Structure 1
Amino acid sequence: MLAGSFATLLCRPGQWRNLLIGGLLFLALYIVFLLGLKWLWPGYIEAGWKRPALLPRRSAGLLIDELRFGFDFGVFWSSVYEQVAWR
């Protein structure tokens, strides 16, 4: 996902701000979703992942890999949206 976003930046360098904002906004939404999931179903996130394959660090009790995915997906989706909605 991040490679596709970098490819978009190479083709359209003026979009870096939109991609960054999209990544941060989706990360914020994803954090709210994960915290709600953690509150409603404790242990669900940990049960769904293979622990040895993940980074051992956490931020606010959330896996760093999850947070990185949220940001990467937001950046990727922003670039896809720019391509689809571009006129």
Structure 2
Amino acid sequence: MVLVYAICKIKPGMDAEFKQAVSNMITMTRAEEGNMTYDLGKEKENTYVFVERWLNERALEEHLKTRHFLEAGKRLERILQEPLDIHKVEGI
């Protein structure tokens, strides 16, 4: 199992745009084979965190190639204050 958490720091005032940019990706990702959980939470103002659980590394790698993931990434370019802070760990 692979666990991922990705910290998203967005520009001030971009909450609605951020949620709109990731909404479809979240729905589509949850339906992917190999995805166990895919959740988004708000840590503090302008900071969101994706918390993900994948069956294996292959499933995660396939996710990173999907159209919905790539499209969301393009939309986030103008919303993010800094690059995503992505952490991947082996589940035990």
TM-score normalized with structure 2 length = 0.31
Q: Which has the higher strand share?
A: 2
Rg (Cα) greater in structure: 1
Q: Which has the higher helix share?
A: 1
